[in-house]
Structure 1
Amino acid sequence: MREMNAKEVENLLNEGKKLNIIDVREVDEVKTGKIPGAINMPLGLVEFRMHELDKTKEYIMVCRSGGRSGRACQFLKSYGFNVINMAGGMLAWEGKIE
């Protein structure tokens, strides 16, 4: 599984890169703050919402610590999606939140 750490993701955002970030935490967890521009898609709904994703794009998956996003990556990769897990999740995130 491909991984990036939180600092690498933050640096890409700071450089103005357009990233497709999917936050797989539950709705109440996201209320405490998410990476700007991230789309919330709780892990339990990924299977039912993957039709909203584009297989030609790259997605960075995020959760609290990296475990759930890792499972989301494995699942989506098995369906042909291009995914990267953000290692350490939001616990490692030091950038801006919204």
Structure 2
Amino acid sequence: MDVLFAILIGVAVIILFFVFRNVQKQKHVKNLTEEQFKEGYRKAQLIDVREPNEYERGHILGARNIPLSQLKQRIGEIRDDQPIYLYCQRGSRSTRAANVLRKKGYTGLNQLKGGFSKWTGKIKQKKKGY
């Protein structure tokens, strides 16, 4: 019985550790509704962290494409003296991008809640050549 209790305590500690770690990561990035995002993104660096083919199919007007897969190599393209507005398709890649930026000392991190899939504002699409 004591062994089972010790195992349960150990599992609970591990679960709490991961929950706490996830909550800490979320504190450094603000999840903004579309309305909140629209209020501030024009005065900030707007970065689409999706892959180029996703970006070309449609992106928020004014966004730069710095894919999460290239972020560490291209981090010098991002200014640290302006707010940063991130988005991806649904929100998971922009959260990871915010964590990379936070670890490099960036602040003022914001992301679009629900990602581009929830965006109803203006978009730009690359014209297909025929």
Q: TM-score, normalised by structure 2?
A: 0.68
CA contact (8 A) 1:6 1:87 kept: yes
Taking the aligned partners of 2:85 and 2:60, their CA distance within structure 1 comes to 11
- List aligned pairs for 1:24-63, cutoff 5 A: 24-63=49-88
> What secondary structure, in the 3-state scheme, does the structure 2 residue paired with 1:2 have?
strand
Q: Are 2:111 and 1:85 equivalent residues in the alignment?
A: yes
CA RMSD of aligned residues (A): 1.3
The number of residue pairs the alignment matches comes to 95
> Higher relative CO (CA 8 A, sep ≥ 6), structure 1 or 2?
1
Q: Which has the higher helix share?
A: 2
Aligned to 1:97: 123
**2: CA distance between counterparts of 1:18 and 1:55?**
14
Distance 2:54 2:114 in 1: 16
Specify the code of the residue in structure 2 equivalent to 1:90.
F
Percent identical among aligned pairs is: 32
How far apart are 1:97 and its partner, in Å? 0.1
Give the distance between the partners of 1:43 and 1:54, measured in 2 at CA: 16
Question: Is 1:6 matched with 2:34?
Answer: yes
TM-score normalised to structure 1 length: 0.88
Larger Rg: 2
Matches within 5 A, 1:13-24: 17-24=42-49
Structure 2 distance, partners of 1:33, 1:95, is 11
Structure 1 runs (4+) greater than 3 angstroms displaced: none
Extract unaligned runs of 5+ from structure 2: 1-28, 125-130
Q: Which amino acid aligns with 1:5?
A: T
Would you say the 8 A contact 1:6–1:89 is kept in 2?
A: no
Structure 1 gaps of 5+ residues are none
